[in-house]
Amino acid sequence: MIRETLFLKLAVILIGIPVLALCFGLPWIAVEAAEHYPAFLLYPLLTGMYMAAVPFFVALYQALRLLSYIDKNEAFSELSIRALKKIKYCAATISILYVAVLPLFYLMAQEDDAPGFLLIGLVITFAAVVIAVFAALLQKLLKNALDIKSENDLTV
């Protein structure tokens, strides 16, 4: 591994560990939550959270691939553009899934009078939108740089 991207690779892995732990711990949390919330609120919320975990881990994998392209000096390649495109779609999917279950967060927050619970859903949604926009911007910049590079290669 190249030292420049080692820190970022470790950061990506460390981001994934708590989410993976939450995926395994969610059934125990659900058992406890089932005592306080009705099933028509709890099960769709849990389903949405598990569905959002899939694109999350796909995006993390794509981020690791992107960092490996940087290590191999292939940052300005079609492979990097594809990885950024997949990250953008994964982040957009996560935000759509959380927007879909946000009313359930609201109903559960109303039941316990806990506005912080709703804030969790909003923060996750907002973070996913920011990542999708950032990935789209990087994808566009990388595409333009690749086009300029290919034009320069043709003129030489």
Check residue 1 and give its pLDDT.
53
Check residue 128 and give its pLDDT.
96
Mark the ranges of the chain whose per-residue pLDDT is less than 50.
Answer: none
Contact 120, 105 (CB under 8 A): yes
Q: Is 2 left (phi over 0), alpha (psi -120 to 50) or beta?
A: beta
Name all contacts of 23-29 with Cβ < 8 Å and 24+ positions apart: 23/50, 23/53, 26/50
Check residue 12 and give its pLDDT.
96
Closest to 45 (Cα-Cα) out of 29, 60, 57, 58: 29
pTM surpassing 0.75? yes
Check residue 60 and give its pLDDT.
97
**Number of domains forming the structure of the chain:** 1
Range of the domain at 53: 3-155
What are 128-147's pLDDT values in tens digits? 999 999 999 999 999 999 88
What are 20-43's pLDDT values in tens digits? 999 999 889 888 888 888 888 888
Check residue 22 and give its pLDDT.
93
